[in-house]
Chains A and B, each alone.
Chain A
Amino acid sequence: MLKTTEALKKVQTGVQKAIGKQKARVLLCAGTGCVANGSLKIYDEFVRVLKEKKLYTTVDVLLQAEGSDSGIVVSHSGCHGFCQRGPLVRIEPLDIFYTNVKPGDVAEIVETTLIKGEPVEHLLYHDPATGKASRNEEGVPFYKKQMRVSLQNCGKINPEDIREYIAHDGYQAIAKAVLEMTPEEVIKTVLDSGLRGRGGGGFPTGRKWQFARDNKSDKKYVVCNGDEGDPGAFMDRSVLEGDPHRVVEGMMLAGYAIGADEGYAYVRAEYPLAVSRLRKAIEDARKEGLLGKNIFGTNFSFDINIKEGAGAFVCGEETALLASVEGRRGMPNPRPPYPAVKGLWGQPTVINNVETLANLSPILLNGPEWFRSYGMGNSSGTKTFALAGHVVNTGLVEIPMGRTLREIVFEIGGGVREGHQFKAVQIGGPSGGCLCEQHLDLPMEYDSLKSVGAMVGSGGMVVMDETTCMVRIARFFMEFAQNESCGKCVPCREGTKQMLGLLTKITEGQGTMEDLALLEELALSVRDGALCGLGKTAPNPVLTTLKYFKHEYLAHIQQKRCPAGECPALKSYTIDPEKCKGCGLCLRNCPVNAISGEKGKPHAIDGDKCIKCDTCIQKCRFGAINKN
């Protein structure tokens, strides 16, 4: 039981010492991305090979061992962010970083790196432009400009071992808060840091806490919003999977600040690994007495329950989330009353997003000035963006607020694929907007994004090149909004449905100029009239594409043409009988059996069945298929 700072420090130094005894440590990224790429197999392979060579050890062994007995520890870690190049392997203390590791590479790594201390050249990251290899992350452009605060421990520690978190200053912030600070001082520190909600709205966290603190009640709650529903964002998942104790400690700090003794962590159902890691973290913290009654021997008591979502984007909205925690349909309620006044079961409640919570312990430990030294204007600190889509490097990117879009897309992201052109970035998911070339030098922070009709949102950032049709993207988001609308208020329920209808009509080449005018009028009404934040922002993708890509809408309407060549209704496929050899490759691969023809004779495409998926074009070895 860790009931004093001394006990905590003792564990910290003990574990640090034990870890210091290891000869080396192999950290295998066990985030969802790398697991999908087979990192667990590589883990097993490392263990097998090292055991064979009698080099294998564990932290538990090291803690027990006397003297300087050494060995190599193999450990899972959270997400390193560079998912696309996974599985990722880090070797400490040699400070070597490998990408795209395969089980077959393990023996070589053990031999060359772990035994001889040399890097395996072909597993290092090579800059695609210069071909230069880089021994660690610092030489990788993807990491160079990053500044990791909320993701600090992700990729560095074993998320399933509370001792490793403690070794990395874990639970010191809460110890400092409860032993040395009043709740008001904690709130003031967070206020001074300028931390704003990282989940979308950007409301100052300290102010939210102050409201909840000011509402006197015997029972208050802290809720962690882990319902990361924005398609294209996965930083909350990475934090929960890679550093769950950080979130637990953040919730405790919030609880101490507002006077709550109970917390709920709401995690979406699509993140089973995050749920199990968080569950283990909570159990371990309880075992150590870090959660429960009289934390660090003070009057502060706090415990956390987990609630799993069941698949509803709208539950990211705080009043809907509360309804869902209470076991009801996740439908938002009008605010006021705000949750800080009347939240979970009618009690004052603070709801903070995962990333927000993960920023708290560094703020408490390093002070508000440190945090404010990053960022710009009213947006201090760092923000994690999930970079995806048509860029060379995809993954999680944490940077100080205020960096430009250009830095993210072109320097960190490595630009668009070769032979393609940058067209747009969709920021902030279904609530955000589509930005174009002219915004590349826009600083990425709350206020400037808002001024151009987008928002930081949860930080999803999907890059699109010239092959993406912007009307279709607007339609895609509207379909999403329509499916995910809770159905309560008229503007969102009916408005998104009708906007989707209009956008479908336009992408099918059936739209009129009246439809375009109606679309804009409707989008503005939904923005004005919807009940909750999600409904109000649902028209953003439409409004921003109308603003920055109107010419694409006009091309669909006036010329019945899709400039990106993406809209199925506006293209047709034919087979050139001169070039077709009748090999049957396209026929076999067509997902809807739209191609027919005898072997050896020219084939034909049935336009009614064809879904214009491009598969046949990619398959044909003779360039016989034409797209118009």
Chain B
Amino acid sequence: MAKILVDNKEVELNGERNLLEVIRKAGINLPTFCYHSELSIYGACRMCTVEVEKMGLVAACSTPPTDGMVVYTNTDRTRRLRRMVIELLLADHHRDCTTCDKNGSCKLQELAYQLGVRKVRFPEKTELKPIDTSSTGLVRDPNKCILCGDCVRMCSEVQGIGVLTFANRGSKTEVTPAFSKPMAEVDCVSCGQCVSVCPTGALTVKSEKEAVRKALDDQTKTVVVQIAPAVRVAVGDAFGEKHGEAVTGKIVTALRRMGFNKVFDTVITADLTAIEETTEFIDRVQNNRNLPQFTSCCPGWVKYCEQFHPDLLDNLSTCKSPQQMFGAVAKRFYAKEIGVEPQDLFLVSVMPCTAKKFEAQRPEFSIDGVRDVDAVLSTVELIQMIQESGLVFEELEGEAFDAPLGLASGAGVIFGVTGGVAEAALRTAAGILGGDGPHQIDFREVRGFEGIKEAVVTVGGIELKLAVVSGLANTERLIQAVKDGKANYHLIEVMTCPGGCVGGGGQPVSTDGKARISRGKSLYAVDKEMPFRTPLENLAVNQMYDKWLEKPGSHISHESLHTTYGPKRRINGAEIQIENSPQAVVDVAVCVGTGCYLRGAYEVLDQFTDLADSDKYAGLVNLKATFCLENCDKGVSVKVGDKLITGVNKDTAAATFRREVDALLK
């Protein structure tokens, strides 16, 4: 067995990918900023520099371990280097630490303390850049960024989007979206995975605590709260509980003592979602349309689909997510039942997710300006509010959720972990299609933490092919396989975050995948202990149908629990002016966004340019190329005057131009 010596201690090599892993295995917590086991090696922070005999100083993260290496991790040179790196980073860091959102959970702060950096000998950073608060879910403070690139790699490698990039170079290097635009104007889906890897306060969750506190203080408001499944297995992390331990009861107690009038469980609408979605699914399978059906519970995925795969929007389940179903039920039915006007019922959700903040603000989810969900707190914000309230969480006695929206099935609980939504659907389908008697509950085929899982399951005599995917880069791979005809499924469950909601961007930060695995396992354990495990058995849900919703898939349930989504442009920005004349009377725009580009927008534009230049139209037409008219699913889109014409191609381009422009010229 190959071995190396780490600080005179013998360590066996066992397939570790780099020296850093071996050293950590040896029980030495070598500090790093830019190393993440799930991301590519970057090697930029140099904190893990060690001395290796015959090699000198090397960064452990990028050095392969070889038999017989003699490694020293704690020498005068390495200590001096690490302290200097910290000092240099602090010199370029906006050091308002005491009032920083990351105070206490900042890695830079922690390592500066641990390594004994007590003074920064370089001048203080004076020029501060503006903070980007444009996003609904995230806040980006460039003055806190240490350029470790974790967010950049997370967004491109795991999520496959690449919202963030390094720009400029040298000491002017910064991490920024394209063209230094605000986050809200680019293709960010607000998943918050960048936040979860950021070691400092450069990327944080946008806080809505203030709005919640204000509502709690407002006597005219009835404040109710819903808690998502994954939250209950993450809050305990901050209060010394075993990692992943479910602390549902204590959370309920804490919220009640903080002044929430009613504490409800999102799991009940997860059950409702499972029933609606499965009903829809069975209908699609039986009529063989819009397959594969993609789940739609995950707002990050929904936005991704709108931006990158508008042609798949018809395949998306029309069901709202559990959060928004809860909002609809609470504002449209429950408020009436307790005699409160919808605008006076303030609904807070506690979510493991930053994209849920974006989802709650979508125009689809409000009626007459009254939002279905008024505020979304991330798990971290809930933890902070508990701490601020002074409650000694560890000593709280657990309490039960309030009725009527507090009853849950095991299937709804596992919505918080990858594979859970699919399993809930299968349980429901087994119930619907299986007739009387006991049905299959556990579908282990769809469990596990791999990024892409496939399963073939027979339910009620129908053979169903399923795929379960988490992480958007994995999702993209799967979609390409489907589009290329290499794979084919009935149902695809998509969760944006690796491992599902347990690894959401709103959860307490953990630097490896272990936390989300323990949280996920804990959810399955909770499921197993539940008195009933399929949504169909949830009496409270059945009551909802009886009282308000008639039956799954009814007109009223469609009106309140279902929605539709449309194409979205990826980036806001200027158009390309092609013909620009002050005397022009007709404005013509051709979409050159990705969808239209791939359908030959350039050829259309080419013909339009020739026509606009021709004697007949010269000087009369302003022509521009624009990025996304948000009708991507229908072929090349053009706009003449105010009229949107879709499905133009190179054969119809000239005729379309003449017809539409002539009409306006008259």
Which residues in A have some Cβ–Cβ distance to B below 8 Å?
312, 314, 329, 331, 333-336, 482-491, 493-498, 501, 514, 518, 521-522, 524-525, 528-531
Contacts and interface: CB of A to CB of B under 8 A. Distances in A.
A483 B168 CA distance: 10
B243 interface: no
Contacts of A529: 46, 49, 57, 81, 84-85
B122 interface: yes
A482 B170 contact: yes
User: Could you say which of A329, A483, A528 has the most chain B C-beta atoms within 10 Å of its C-beta?
Assistant: A528
B602 to A, nearest CB: 21
A443 to B, nearest CB: 26
B62 A334 contact: yes
Given A487-B170, A487-B172, A491-B88, 20 more contacts: A329-B166, A333-B43, A334-B61, A336-B64, A482-B171, A485-B170, A487-B168, A487-B171, A488-B44, A489-B44, A490-B44, A490-B45, A493-B147, A494-B88, A501-B122, A501-B123, A525-B81, A528-B77, A529-B46, A530-B46
A262 to B, nearest CB: 26
Contacts of B80: 521, 524-525, 528
A525 B146 CA distance: 18
Contacts of B84: 491, 495, 521-522, 525, 529
B16 to A, nearest CB: 15
A531 to B, nearest CB: 6
Contacts of B88: 490-491, 494-495, 498
Contacts of B64: 336
B87 to A, nearest CB: 9
A493 B171 CA distance: 5
Nearest to A494: B88
User: Could you say which of A487, A491, A529 has the most chain B C-beta atoms within 10 Å of its C-beta?
Assistant: A529
Contacts of B44: 488-490, 531
A486 B84 CA distance: 19
User: Could you say which of A335, A483, A501, A525 has the most chain B C-beta atoms within 10 Å of its C-beta?
Assistant: A525
Q: Contact size class for B?
A: 35 or more
Contacts of A518: 121
Interface string B47-81: 00100000001010111100000000000010011
A489 B91 contact: no
A490 B46 contact: yes
B616 interface: no
A494 B149 CA distance: 15
A486 B170 contact: yes
A498 B171 CA distance: 10
B45 A485 contact: no
Contacts of A524: 80
B173 interface: yes
Contacts of A336: 62-64
Nearest to A502: B122
Nearest to A332: B43
Nearest to A500: B171
Nearest to A492: B170
B123 A494 contact: no
User: Could you say which of B46, B81, B123, B146 has the most chain A C-beta atoms within 10 Å of its C-beta?
Assistant: B46
Nearest to B33: A490
Contacts of B43: 333-334, 489, 531
Q: Give the dominant DSSP class at A's interface.
A: helix
Contacts of A314: 169
Nearest to A490: B85
Nearest to B86: A490
Nearest to B169: A487
B41 interface: yes
10 contacts: A334-B59, A485-B170, A490-B88, A491-B85, A496-B170, A497-B92, A498-B91, A501-B122, A530-B46, A531-B44
Contacts of B123: 501
B30 interface: no
B89 interface: yes
Contact of B46 (A485, A491, A514): A491
Contacts of A497: 92, 170-171
A332 to B, nearest CB: 9
A365 to B, nearest CB: 38
B75 to A, nearest CB: 11
A283 to B, nearest CB: 30
Given A490-B89, A522-B84, A334 B173 contact: no
Contacts of A491: 46, 81, 84-85, 88
Q: Which 5 A-B pairs have the closest CB atoms?
A: A487-B173, A334-B62, A334-B43, A494-B88, A525-B84
B57 A528 contact: yes
A515 B171 CA distance: 20
Given A489-B46, A490-B46, A529-B49, A498 B122 contact: yes
Nearest to A515: B121
Contacts of B59: 334, 531
B80 to A, nearest CB: 6
A107 B84 CA distance: 67
A497 B43 CA distance: 20
Contacts of A331: 166
B160 to A, nearest CB: 17
Nearest to B63: A336
Contacts of A489: 43-46
A494 B87 CA distance: 10
Interface in B150-176: 166, 168-173
Contact of B171 (A329, A496, A522): A496
A187 B230 CA distance: 61
Contacts of A521: 80, 84
A135 to B, nearest CB: 51
Contacts of A528: 49, 57, 77, 80-81
Contacts of B171: 482, 485, 487, 493-494, 496-497
Contacts of B81: 491, 525, 528-529
Contacts of A525: 80-81, 84-85
Nearest to B58: A334
A525 B49 CA distance: 11
A203 to B, nearest CB: 16
Nearest to A329: B166
A493 B121 contact: no
Nearest to A491: B46
Contacts of B92: 494, 497
Contacts of B168: 487
Nearest to A333: B43
Contacts of A531: 43-44, 46, 59
B41 A334 contact: yes
B604 to A, nearest CB: 28
A494 B89 contact: yes
Contacts of B63: 336
B147 A487 contact: yes
B581 to A, nearest CB: 35
A336 B59 CA distance: 11
A146 B42 CA distance: 45
Nearest to B57: A528
Contacts of A335: 62
Interface in B5-58: 41-46, 49, 57
Contacts of A488: 42, 44, 147, 149, 173
A490 B121 CA distance: 16
A335 B62 CA distance: 7
Contacts of A493: 147, 170-171, 173
Nearest to B166: A329
A531 B44 CA distance: 7
A336 B65 CA distance: 11
B567 to A, nearest CB: 29
User: Could you say which of A483, A489, A494, A498 has the most chain B C-beta atoms within 10 Å of its C-beta?
Assistant: A494
User: Could you say which of A490, A497, A514 has the most chain B C-beta atoms within 10 Å of its C-beta?
Assistant: A490
A576 B122 CA distance: 42
A483 B172 CA distance: 9
Interface in B66-122: 77, 80-81, 84-85, 88-89, 91-92, 121-122
